[in-house]
Amino acid sequence: MECVVQGIIETQHVEALEILLQGLCGVHRERLRIHESCLKSSPNLGLVASEVRVLCDLEQPEPTWIVRHIGGAMRGSGAEQISVLVRTMVESKVSKNVLRLFYALGYKLDHELLRVGFAFHFQRGASITVTVSSVNKMLKLHATDEAVPVTPGIQLVEVTAPASSENYSEVAAAVSSFCEYLAPLLHLSKPGTSTGVVPTAAAAAASLMSDAGVTT
Amino acid sequence: MPLKWVFHWQPNAGTTVNSQMLTEVSQCAESINGVKEGRWKATLTFYKPMFRADQAVPAEYPRDFLGISLPEQPNRYYFIIRSQKIVLEADSSIQMIMEKLQSYKSRVSLTFEGFQYQLGDFQLRVGKVAPSASENLRGIVLEVEYLPLSSMEKSRQILDGFVEIWQEAMSKRSLPGHFMHIEPNFAEFGLSDHYTSQHTAVQYATVMAQLISAVQTAQAVRN
């Protein structure tokens, strides 16, 4: 399981966000360059249609691979009262043959993306990861060197934390509480509930940059 | 990691494997001063594709999609499609992902289990092959692991030498069959000379193919 919220921020304010995150998290950022392939089952394969994501971390000296299955979100009045999305998520590290295997099993590439940016991993009531990335599409199959932004000028911010059925409310509370610190720059909400950019972002960014001694 | 050769028991034409043979093989290991250690167990699962419409499996879907868990890698799981020379190493959580996808289901599971023996630089594992839910003996496997080396080329002569000693000890027991080792073409699976658990998984898939072929041959002879 995991708790997730997302938001968007203008690229011009990403540097200010990084300064804020650096101060809040107390850890160094890690560079992010992930090639994400979304695979879907062929028609008629499986009792229901299925989807799986294959992520290749291109930032490592030797690319590393993960398979991720994202399941349904928690529903009901309890879920509605929580400001973060709680959903099932299972992932597995895999060796490099993973795409060949899934193609052989009858899965097809639905779409692929390249996420480029940075991430912070830290503990604050839960094990939280904040990623800030531009989402890019490839003009040719698997051509990660020729990717262009899907939304130029806008980057995606995602805050996630692993959870279990025993502790998801505490994890959700920790994520919510952390997100409040980011409120001047961006609004984070459940994926699928878009809120756009925050009107105070420009002023907040300017303030952060000047506090950090960065002249623009 | 240390390399190993996996052998399967090839019964003579017209004979089948039984538990007395398994006892003899274990005694053979002890007769060449093998020190009995603990038990070991590996599991192999055949998967079949599921279809929404009630239809026969289209030809393009693999009929030899296997999953294997190995005792030396308790947190890993291995997938093999032998016909397409694909082997994948994954975390054990990949089994949960496959369950959630509901595109492939477990058709039958087999267990390889028995005792392991230490003989100097070698470790032997003798195991019976049986369906997971039953005690019906379907085969016998033997693993010969040479601990000091990981290079298959460098260790080939040493393993050949050991196997000679083993086969000689076995021949004294006059059992109706012999152990066979078929070395897969690891390079076709993208594997190098440096031995890994992926090599072991491929060997088990090969052994499985041999066991199935032996059963089919025996059935053809009976018919």
DSSP calls for A30-98: EEEEEEEEEEEEPTTBSSS--EEEEEEETTSSS-EEEEEEEEEEP-SHHHHHSSSEEEEEEEEEE-TTH
This prediction has a pTM of 0.91
CB contact under 8 A, B81 and A94: no
Tell which of A94, A96, A99 to mutate to test the B interface (max B CBs under 10 Å): A94
A101-125 pLDDT, tens digit each? 999 999 999 999 999 999 999 999 8
A72-99 pLDDT, tens digit each? 888 887 788 888 999 999 999 999 999 9
B119-150 pLDDT, tens digit each? 999 999 999 999 988 888 999 999 999 999 88
Residues 17-76 of A with CB under 8 A from B: 41, 44-48, 50, 52, 67, 69, 71
In percent, how much of chain B has pLDDT > 70? Answer: 96
Residue A41 has pLDDT above 60, yes or no: yes
Residue A32 has pLDDT above 60, yes or no: yes
Arithmetic mean of pLDDT, A31-56:
94
8 Å CB contact between A82 and A173 = no
- Decide if B96 touches A, using CB distance below 8 A: yes
Q: Which residue ranges of chain B lie beneath pLDDT 50?
A: none
In this predicted structure, what is the pLDDT of residue B86?
97
Dmax over Cα atoms in chain B, in whole Å?
58
Q: How far apart are CA A140 and CA A144, in angstroms?
A: 8
Q: How far apart are CA B164 and CA A61, in angstroms?
A: 44
Nearest CA among A69, A42, A110 for reference residue B57:
A42
3-state secondary structure of B171: helix
In this predicted structure, what is the pLDDT of residue A215?
57
Mean of the per-residue pLDDT values of chain B: 91
Query: What is the CB neighbour count within 10 angstroms for residue B207?
Result: 24
- Decide if B76 touches A, using CB distance below 8 A: no
Q: Which residues of B touch A91 (CB under 8 A)?
A: 93, 97
Question: Residue A101 is nearest to which of B52, B81, B100, comparing CB atoms?
Answer: B81
Q: How far is CA B124 from the centre of its chain?
A: 13
ipTM greater than 0.85, yes or no? Answer: yes
CB contact under 8 A, B88 and A97: yes
CB contact under 8 A, B96 and A101: no
How big is the CA angle at B216 (ends B211 and B222), to the nearest 5 degrees? 130
